[in-house]
Amino acid sequence: MNIKITGSGSYIPNQIVTNLDFENHEFLNEDGTPFPYPNDVVAQKFKQITGIEERRYANSNLVTSDLAFFAAQKAIEDAKIDPETLDYIIFAHNFGNVKHRAIQADAVPSLAARVKQKLAIKNPKCVAYDILFGCPGWIEGVIQANAFIKAGMAKKCMVIGAETLSRVVDIHDRDSMIYSDGAGATIIEASNEEGGILAHASATFATNEADYLFFGNSYNKNLDEDVRYIKMYGRKIYEFALIEVPKAMKECLEESGVTISEVKKVLIHQANEKMDEAIIHRFFKLYNQNPPDGVMPMSIHKLGNSSVATVPTLYDLLIKNQIENQELNKGDVIIFASVGAGMNINAIVYRC
């Protein structure tokens, strides 16, 4: 029995926010002091490091579970399944539903239950639950779906990754320019076709790394100190990811029995272009090779970092030939990989 992605869908919000839209922001250092250079220089340096030119924000009337529902509808249609036959809906997010200009997150009932309700699934045996695993949440959800199916507990699962990070950013923090909104969904099924999930690996590093991503105060010391925003120690994450992500990918690839020469694409969490490039180079260097041209499709330039949504959205765009000069063909071997809050790392080797 092979376990495959039989359908995918994504929702990319239509509100485009360019780097120029941050021109009038008051960016501050962590201690509340102003930057020593103007915002056009901030934007230029930001683009050079991250590769991000634009990002997408959800319309003010939508919340994370709405975005997920749109992506879920597309995945169900793509897989040509009856949603009543779904055994699990696994929803990866980090902040729940945060309404526009609100300061509280809402995750009761679970976002997965809300998607099930919106899909009008009546089957009570379709179990809906959320997972919090940082940016690697969608990949971890696929690993869980794989386990359910292998154990005979399920035949069809939906795995969703969605987030509205624009609702939890500190506008005085330069890192706010990284984050975006979006959703991706996939149907995971047992299949008689060749390929599917060949191997997977997961790890949590929490001894010294748990606080690399956290909720903290605004850099503007005049704002309410009881309101928190997403914060990160970017340099520590960068250094951690460069060491640990290639190792996880190598471990996963070796377990799969696939050789490095067979890997056609690496779909890595779109967090920072320079970091992703460095991870890919480090991974191939473990095999004394250089990365092949085009091995790492990118969506970050126009879509930014939408956390758990980046990898499933990237897959959906790639499988549907919507990324320029990139394609996936039947039988191609790809690696999914991600790193994020926890600090969590995971990878999947998958044959299309």
Query: For the chain, what is the mean pLDDT?
Result: 95
**Tens of pLDDT, residues 245-300:** 999 999 999 999 999 999 999 999 999 999 999 999 999 999 999 999 999 999 99
pLDDT at 306: 97
Tell me how far CA of residue 144 lies from CA of 5, 28, 140, in angstroms.
13, 41, 6
* 228 within 8 A of 243, measured Cβ to Cβ: no
Domain boundary among the residues 154, 169, 193 is at: 193
CATH of the domain at 244: 3.40.47.10
Same domain? 258 vs 170: no
Same domain? 223 vs 345: yes
- Please state, as a whole number, how many other Cβ atoms lie within 10 Å of the Cβ of residue 22: 18
Overall number of domains in the chain: 2
Percent helix, strand and coil across the chain, each to the nearest 5? 35, 25, 40
**Tens of pLDDT, residues 167-218:** 999 999 999 999 999 999 999 999 998 999 999 999 999 999 999 999 999 9
Same domain? 12 vs 131: yes
pLDDT at 24: 87
- What does the alpha-carbon distance between residue 300 and residue 267 come to, in Å, rounded to a whole number? 12
Q: Which domain holds residue 280?
A: 197-351
**Tens of pLDDT, residues 70-112:** 999 999 999 999 999 999 999 999 999 999 988 889 999 999 9
Same domain? 230 vs 273: yes
Q: End-to-end distance of the chain based on CA atoms, in angstroms?
A: 15
Q: In which band, very low, low, confident or very high, does the pLDDT at 1 lie, cut at 50, 70 and 90?
A: confident
Domain boundary among the residues 167, 193, 219 is at: 193
* 156 within 8 A of 86, measured Cβ to Cβ: yes
Return the H-helix or E-strand segment holding 7.
strand 2-11
